Amino acid sequence: MAMTGDAIDALTAADWGLVNRVVPDEDLVAATLDFITRATRGTEASKAAGKQAYYRQIEMPQPAAYVYAGEVMAERAMDKQAQESFHAFLNRRNL
């Protein structure tokens, strides 16, 4: 596509892994809002920590990256905001 400039349809884009999901036109707004809602939940600090961990681990061999990611997740799970999220989940309430 980058070389030829040829347009492709949505199903081809999905088959090639260029998009996450294909929905009918009438579902696009709802699907977009759903994705944005899921992508933006969590605290600013947790997003920052996740991005920092991701960029650090992509340079590591896979076994070391798994260990590092596990350490970061365990550390973040002890955070006060994370603990509140766990309690909300267990008590079936929204934050």
Specify the pLDDT at position 95. 67
What is the rounded average pLDDT for all residues in the chain? 90
Global model pTM greater than 0.85: no
Taking residues 72-95, report their average pLDDT: 86
Taking residues 54-78, report their average pLDDT: 94
d(CA 11, CA 82) in angstroms, rounded, equals 38
Specify the pLDDT at position 30. 97
* Domain 44-90: top CATH class: mainly alpha
Domain spans, the chain:
10-40, 44-90
Contact in structure between 68 and 76 (CB atoms under 8 Å): no
Work out the number of other CB atoms within 10 angstroms of the CB of residue 68. Answer: 14
Specify the pLDDT at position 86. 86
Contact in structure between 23 and 32 (CB atoms under 8 Å): no
Specify the pLDDT at position 26. 97
